[in-house]
Amino acid sequence: MSILKDKVVLVTGGTGSFGKKFIGKALTLGVKKIIVFSRDELKQYEMKQEFNDERIRFFIGDVRDKERLYRAFDGVDIVIHAAAMKHVDSCEYNPFEAVKTNIHGAQNIIEAAIDRGVEKVIALSTDKACSPVNLYGATKLASDKLFVAANAYVGEKKTRFAVVRYGNVVGSRGSVVPFFKKIKYTGRVPITDERMTRFWITLEQGVQFVLDNLERMRGGEIFVPKIPSMNIMDLAKAIAPECKFEIVGIRPGEKLHEAMIMEDDARHTLEFDDYYVIQPELAWWSQEQLKEGKALPEGFAYTSENNTEWLTVEQLIEMVERV
């Protein structure tokens, strides 16, 4: 039986790429009601036409507005927190706004969830939160820390918080796939650095990973999937093989390779068949932490450069064609 069956579920940022895919899946799993919480009434209107399901409710609201979250969380069992400012350039140019949404918004989610008696909250994170070099990554690292520590604030209440951290999503809004698809007709594709690597996951995989961890979570975990890496040149060849590739240099706030687990976190991380769990270092709120996994070796790091699984050009072509 699905963990969503007969539950009331709220998705912040519900009109985004992940939110729409998650809600579509949730509707097939016996959800009692699902609430789309987001700021954009046009996107909500368009989504309403697309889904046309009486179990969906649309709430206009901002995670910066705690009072609105209190109203929206009334009677909610599960919260998926997908709302964020996520574009690196926008966060760098509007740092106060990024902090308000990604950090203060996380605090508001936590306080509203505890006070309203929400059972489970999963927050979506990013590989950029691991050893961050830009403000977006820094705000998401702070958000991750808040959600982990939030379990200590619950007291006798039932609310539990966990985090899901994964890499670039194929075809999500603002990602490199739609950009390459759009620009390839010019005959020229800009490449930041031919050595660049990234973790790669599909929307379907991301949604399923969240659903799986709603079942697994006990409070305070950061769940990291084992997913393949890709080289930027292989991706460019998959999308625009006939184009000329021009090296333009790494953009400000960008890494050559991404990471999801670094050595210091690895000391309290467990490995499972297809995912890792970064355990909270100070889990004073519970003795029920996962213990079934395997400890990682000293010096372990999970980066897109040292990954053991890589996508070929042929696999990338297949993935991109489905976007």
Catalytic annotation, residues? 128
Residue 17: which of 82, 96, 103, 97 has the closest Cα? 82
Measured distance CA(245)–CA(187) in Å, rounded: 9
The backbone region for 133, taken as left when phi is positive above 0, alpha when psi lies in -120 to 50, beta otherwise, is alpha
Structure tokens at 250: 């790494």
Measured distance CA(13)–CA(18) in Å, rounded: 8
Measured distance CA(82)–CA(61) in Å, rounded: 14
Helix residue ranges, H only, 152-275: 176-183, 203-216, 232-239, 263-266
Query: What is the dihedral angle through the alpha carbons of 288, 293, 295, 296, rounded to the nearest 10 degrees?
Result: -130
Q: What single-letter DSSP state applies at residue 87?
A: -
Q: What single-letter DSSP state applies at residue 63?
A: T
Measured distance CA(70)–CA(182) in Å, rounded: 41
Q: How many Å separate Cα 233 from the centre of its chain?
A: 25
Residue 73: which of 40, 124, 101, 112 has the closest Cα? 112
3-state secondary structure of 83: coil
Structure tokens at 262: 């670094």
Measured distance CA(290)–CA(215) in Å, rounded: 12
The CA-to-CA distance between both ends of the chain, in Å, stands at 30
